[in-house]
Amino acid sequence: MRIRKAVIPAAGLGTRMLPITKSMPKEMLPIVDKPVIHYVVEEAIKAGIDDILIITGKGKRTIEDYFDRSFELEYYLREKGKLEELKQVEEIGEMVDIYYVRQKKPLGLGDAILHAEKHVNGEPFAVLLGDDIIVSEKPGIGQLIEVAREKEAPVIGVERVPQELVSRYGIVEGVKIGDGLYRVNNLVEKPSPSEAPSNVAIIGRYVLFPEIFDALRETPPGKGGEIQLTDALKVLLPQPMFAKEITGKRYDVGSRLGFVRANIELSLAHEELREEIISLMGQIIQEVSHE
Ligand code: UTP
């Protein structure tokens, strides 16, 4: 079984990052010199995906422009002899086949996924949330694809979180059957720490099968009037479903702290910037400790 299609929902309003998200999609926020969604697309490509559907919405045109060719810019860079920059810009336009569909109203992640039904056309598919960056040797979504192929069942990407943070996540109740691998028995959306069945939290990566679409249609709007993907996954239980702890570092760039942290840490991964950033950080720490 090959999984070659990915869906990137990117139609949310990004209210946690207001006011910038008033006129700029959070998926386009810069992390050093690339927008968040560029990292997400790269992760999918590394995992063998060759067809990507981005769910966009109102005010998200810059995402399409970013992955499109820019002939004026390419012409300008060629004329000026800026060949390194030209190569970079051309490569973005040729990364992978990217398609778009618009979610007319932000009715939730579940509703966004429902918009992918025609495009995935009966195949299993990967889902990568457009505001989560995962940095790891082996691409985050690739780790889930491996399990989905072996088990021929849906797989949810998870991470263990501190007990006091469980109420921010969907939480998995399951049986551990391998290294970081669980068979899912139940899913609980945003439980209080005392009610949470575990600290195994759902993060922004999934491998889903076409059955999810009927489940989504059966799912009534939940929290905040939105159709929740977690609720639809619950409809599919007790069919086999798995959760896999993704190894690597995750940044929730849709939150202020996650965004700032991603910028600091990923700039340290930049060869040209690393030394300067370290010395800058030393300087800043000295300055604030004298305040
Ligand atoms: P979030 O809940 O993080 O996105 O959804 P949000 O609603 O934009 O964020 P806040 O809480 O208001 O800051 C996770 C992913 O699902 C997409 C988002 O773009 C994000 O990638 N999404 C969410 C949609 O595509 N459509 C929706 O209706 C809601």
What would the pLDDT profile of 180-236 be if each residue is shown by its tens digit? 999 999 999 889 999 999 999 999 999 999 999 999 999 988 777 888 999 999 999
This prediction's pTM: 0.93
Q: How far is the CA of 4 from the centre of ligand 1 (A)?
A: 24
Q: How far is the CA of 38 from the centre of ligand 1 (A)?
A: 17
125-128/200-208 β-pairing? antiparallel
**C-alpha–C-alpha distance, residues 150 and 183, integer Å:** 13
Q: Between the CA of residue 191 and those of 10, 118, 166, 185, what are the distances in Å?
A: 25, 34, 7, 16
Residue whose entry in the numeric block shows the structure tokens 């943070």: 165
Whether 203 lines ligand 1, by a CB cut-off of 6 Å, is no
Whether 48 lines ligand 1, by a CB cut-off of 6 Å, is no
Q: How far is the CA of 108 from the centre of ligand 1 (A)?
A: 7
Domains belonging to the chain, first-starting first, are 5-253 (3.90.550.10), 255-291 (no CATH)
What would the pLDDT profile of 233-277 be if each residue is shown by its tens digit? 999 998 999 999 999 999 999 999 999 999 999 999 988 899 999
